[in-house]
Chains A and B, each alone.
Chain A
Amino acid sequence: MKILYVEDDPVAREYIHKGLREHGFVVDVASDGKTGFERAVGGAYDLLLLDVMLPERDGFDLLRELRNVGIETPALFLSARGEVTDRVKGLNLGADDYLPKPFAFAELLARIRAIARRRLNEPGSGRLTLADLELDVQRHTVHRAGKAIELTPKEFTLLEYLLRNAGHVVSRTMITEKVWGYGFETYSNLIDVHMNHLRRKIDRDFEPKLLHTVKGVGYVLDQRNAPREEREGIGRSA
């Protein structure tokens, strides 16, 4: 996956660049909006990683211009401006996600991968399965090993989100935003309580365990006991 990373802060640029390279991404960098625009127009990228406050031309402007000239590369904004207004502005411009600084590197990874997946297979099917867990979106039912499981509406939405991202780590903030909406960010640590409830219902009486906690990042729904992203966690050196 080829990423264009536009960031004016040299320290952030160096470390994020290094981190992304170590996770197997091909990364080009640019340090201002003008160069960023030229690179984005010239190269075939799978993702644009854009800082909002950039010299020459800010990230919002940059993306607006790119969309105007017909470049539809997925984009993720990184910004110290974390207010909802800015996020909404970024998303309205056609960005796929908006991550306020400071963020955990694992959170960035999770979001980049989520964007990559979303582009590969848009949600379509009404039936989601993982091992012997089945969720029917239309009929609003959940079964594990053939047994019906009662979920609250929010738990259902939560499980649907996890299933759509099965095998991939999603952060607490991503879960909060997607399942509950903006306004609860402060309480994303309370997501653990919801997860425990869900885990009790779908995992407690069954084997293998499907819902795993990834320390310091979030959660993953996976058949394997050790999820992939945990194995390539950020604590390891290349």
Chain B
Amino acid sequence: MALGRAPLSIQTKWAVRYTAALLVSICIFAYYVYARIERNLEQDARLVLELQAQELVQELGEGSGESLTEYVERHVASAEPGVMLGIAVYDAAGKLLIAQGSLQGHTLEDPAEVVRGRTTPAVYPADFGDRSGYLVLATRAPNGIVQVAVSQHRFEERARHLKWVMVLALPLLLLLTLVTGWLLARGSLRPIAQITATARRITGANLDERIPTTGSGDELDQLAATLNDMIARLRESMERIGQFSADAAHELRTPLAALRSQIEVTLEKERTPSEYRAVLSGLVEEVETLGDAVHAMLRLASSEAGIDPARRASVALLPLLDEVMDFFEPVANENDVELRRTSCPDVSISGDPTWLRQLFANLLHNAIKYTPAGGRVTIEASLHGGRIAVRVRDTGVGIPKGEQERVFARFHRTGARQEVPGSGLGLPIAREIARAHGGSIELESTPGVGSTFTIWLPLGEIAPPAP
């Protein structure tokens, strides 16, 4: 079982694979080279034999004045010692005339065979009892038979030498490739080691680190850039969560403190049942407000998490706007605010119907809340390419330039808390819902004239659900 064994690093794996691949190539190459050289050496040996035989045959045929014995002795003597040249000559009847050098005592047993059969020079290996192998050639001459032998010792020596060089060089080569492979792998993996080291240093509290990029634009550089983007996004989210938790805690602390003092003061002395009842029903109301605030925070958190794919549907805009207007119509009437909608293109949005309802409800409610009696809230919608712009225009108090971005901040309320009720999360929730649908909300406002919130949403039918 491989359990408990440390996993091999990629670097080591690469080095080992690289070495293995190289080893196979080297072995094939070495084998080929060795086979070629061995063959060449054998051919060299044959060539020497054939030349000697040819010369001898010529000598026998023509005669140079030198006696046969002299000739043979001179040749055997002048040959390189390692060659161990041997020469034997027979007459046409097969009788041995002379045998010199290594062929002494190893002459042909049946020279007649050569005379009878072989027309071409035959070369065969032979063993003369000493340590080297011989190559022997026997051939017919014009008036007899010639036999020549050379030792293969020299050639064998060379081949053996070559073999040893190869066998000894191989482990060295292996070691060398292993080391280079390891170093090469380390070089190309170094960015990964850096990424790992940086990632180790990154925690929820420390998202300032960035992985160094080389600017080469290669795969690892792209990986580093992608991870850096991810860290940046995480940092943004963490900051938002941190800010939100702090805001939420603060927001809940105030009513909790009020609750607590109410309870403590009531408990300080005996009260009549009706007094208790009055305090308790007051408490219920405050707890309800707290509960609403928590609900709003949850809703905000879930809208930030994105749309649940199971709830995504194609939502027709027109009926949705009418539904929301229908809900707020009596409220607007009550506040003496005129609510109306101009013509609206008949389009559909891909999204969560409940959330979209909530989005428009929040904006409409906000507009009605901040529009004084006698004012007007208008809803308009128009197409801009692949997007729809829904404008909620009011003739309300307006928002000064410097405060416009802050209306989308959590728990922000324009005006004093007591004057305008609400969780302070209506617009942040609306913005998150728009974002979750791939849209955005813009605000234009002039103090004293009114505000226009523009909700941009991408159009588009949803893909049919997979079967």
How many residues of chain A get a CB closer than 8 Å to chain B's CBs?
25
**Interface contact A183-B353, CB-CB below 8 Å:** yes
Listed by A's residue number, 14 A-B pairs whose Cβ atoms lie within 8 Å are A82-B298, A154-B327, A180-B323, A182-B354, A184-B358, A184-B361, A185-B295, A186-B362, A186-B423, A193-B330, A196-B330, A235-B277, A235-B280, A235-B281
Docked CA distance A152–B311 (Å): 30
Q: Contacts of B295 on A, CB cut-off 8 Å?
A: 82, 100, 185-186
**Interface contact B287-A102, CB-CB below 8 Å:** yes
**Interface contact B357-A104, CB-CB below 8 Å:** no
User: Taking the nearest CB of chain A, how far is it from the CB of B314, in angstroms?
Assistant: 17
A197 at the binding interface (Cβ < 8 Å): yes
Interface residues of B (CB under 8 A from A): 277, 280-281, 284-285, 287-288, 291-292, 294-296, 298-299, 302, 308, 310-311, 323, 326-328, 330-331, 333-334, 352-358, 361-362, 365, 423, 426
Docked CA distance A183–B310 (Å): 17
A84 at the binding interface (Cβ < 8 Å): yes
Instruction: Contacts A183-B353, A183-B355 given; indicate if A84 touches B326 (C-beta within 8 A).
Output: no
**CB within 8 Å of B: which of A104-151?**
104
User: Taking the nearest CB of chain B, how far is it from the CB of A42, in angstroms?
Assistant: 35
**Interface contact A186-B327, CB-CB below 8 Å:** no
Most buried by B among A102, A196, A197: A102
- Identify 18 new A-B residue pairs, CB closer than 8 A, beyond the known A83-B299, A181-B323, A190-B331: A82-B298, A84-B354, A85-B310, A85-B311, A88-B311, A154-B326, A181-B354, A182-B357, A183-B353, A183-B356, A183-B357, A183-B358, A186-B292, A186-B362, A187-B365, A193-B330, A197-B330, A216-B285
Q: Contacts of B355 on A, CB cut-off 8 Å?
A: 183
**CB within 8 Å of B: which of A64-114?**
82-85, 88, 100, 102, 104
Q: Which residue of A lies closest to B332 (CB)?
A: A193
User: Taking the nearest CB of chain B, how far is it from the CB of A213, in angstroms?
Assistant: 15
A204 at the binding interface (Cβ < 8 Å): no
Docked CA distance A190–B426 (Å): 15
A194 at the binding interface (Cβ < 8 Å): yes
Q: Contacts of B284 on A, CB cut-off 8 Å?
A: 104, 216
Docked CA distance A102–B292 (Å): 9
Most buried by B among A104, A152, A185, A196: A185
**Interface contact B308-A85, CB-CB below 8 Å:** yes
User: Taking the nearest CB of chain A, how far is it from the CB of B317, in angstroms?
Assistant: 14
**Interface contact B287-A186, CB-CB below 8 Å:** no
Contact pick for B327, options A102, A104, A180, A196, CB 8 Å: A180
Docked CA distance A128–B141 (Å): 138
Docked CA distance A235–B299 (Å): 31
User: Taking the nearest CB of chain B, how far is it from the CB of A101, in angstroms?
Assistant: 8
Q: Contacts of B294 on A, CB cut-off 8 Å?
A: 102
**Interface contact A83-B327, CB-CB below 8 Å:** no
Q: Contacts of A180 on B, CB cut-off 8 Å?
A: 323, 327
Docked CA distance A84–B361 (Å): 16
Docked CA distance A184–B358 (Å): 6
Docked CA distance A154–B352 (Å): 22
Q: Which residue of B lies closest to A85 (CB)?
A: B308
**CB within 8 Å of B: which of A32-47?**
none
